[in-house]
Amino acid sequence: MYHSPIKHCKNCGAAVVYRVPDDGDTKERAVCPQCQTIHYENPLNVVGTVPHLGSRVLLCKRNIEPRKGKWTLPAGFMELQETTAQGAARETQEEAGAHFEMEGLFSILNVARVGQVHLFYTARLLDDQFDPGHETMEARLFEEDEIPWDEIAFRTVKETLEHYFSDRRTGQLLFHAIDIG
């Protein structure tokens, strides 16, 4: 069973043990033997956008690990106190410094083996001026045939881009739910 490294209770600081709680639960959890707090480990949400201007999409060249130097859509971990759309907009602003208008949810990708769910919205760029933040070496617009497909950082980004361009060819953007094995 996959465990993220919860070692100590967030309430009292005692070392936790992994066991099935006595409350009728059926899954092994991090349980504090001192105060009996059950610590639930839930997937992390990665939120981002497919920023587009005409037939081009905006990609960011990563300036951080993992996969530094590879291309990605602007995305990152959702923060507390924000919606998925707010997080996607924040990441697009932070990583690309783009001016844009948020559109609808385009794809949700479940990456269960690493405990993540990726959500991408489409975003209509208002211009082609970008001011990337420190996590991005370069922010650039690409036509579909110009995308460096072998240099895409993450499978979730590649699959989202493939669906986006496929949908554009049909003239209708659909919603995509994908499980990454």
For 16, which DSSP code?
P
Listed in sequence order, the DSSP H helices in the chain are 84-96, 155-170
pLDDT score, position 1: 42
44-179, CATH topology level = Nucleoside Triphosphate Pyrophosphohydrolase (3.90.79)
Q: For the segment 72-120, what is each residue's pLDDT rounded down to a tens digit?
A: 999 999 999 999 999 999 999 999 999 999 999 999 999 999 999 999 9
pLDDT score, position 5: 80
Nearest in space to 123 (alpha carbons), one of 160, 177, 79, 69: 160
| Secondary element (H or E) of residue 148 | none
Q: Do domains 1-41 and 44-179 have the same CATH topology?
A: no
Residue 71, CB half-sphere, CA atoms under 13 Å: how many? Answer: 18
Tracing tokens 């639930």 back to the chain, one arrives at 40
Q: For the segment 23-67, what is each residue's pLDDT rounded down to a tens digit?
A: 889 999 999 999 999 999 899 999 999 999 999 999 999 999 999
Query: Coil, helix or strand for 86?
Result: helix
0.85 exceeded by the pTM? yes
1-41, CATH topology level = Ubiquitin Ligase Nedd4; Chain: W; (2.20.70)
pLDDT score, position 4: 62
User: Which tokens in the block code for residue 122?
Assistant: 């489409």
User: Which tokens in the block code for residue 84?
Assistant: 């998925």
Domain chopping of the chain, boundaries:
1-41, 44-179
The Cα-based distances of 100 to 124, 163, 167 in angstroms read 5, 21, 21
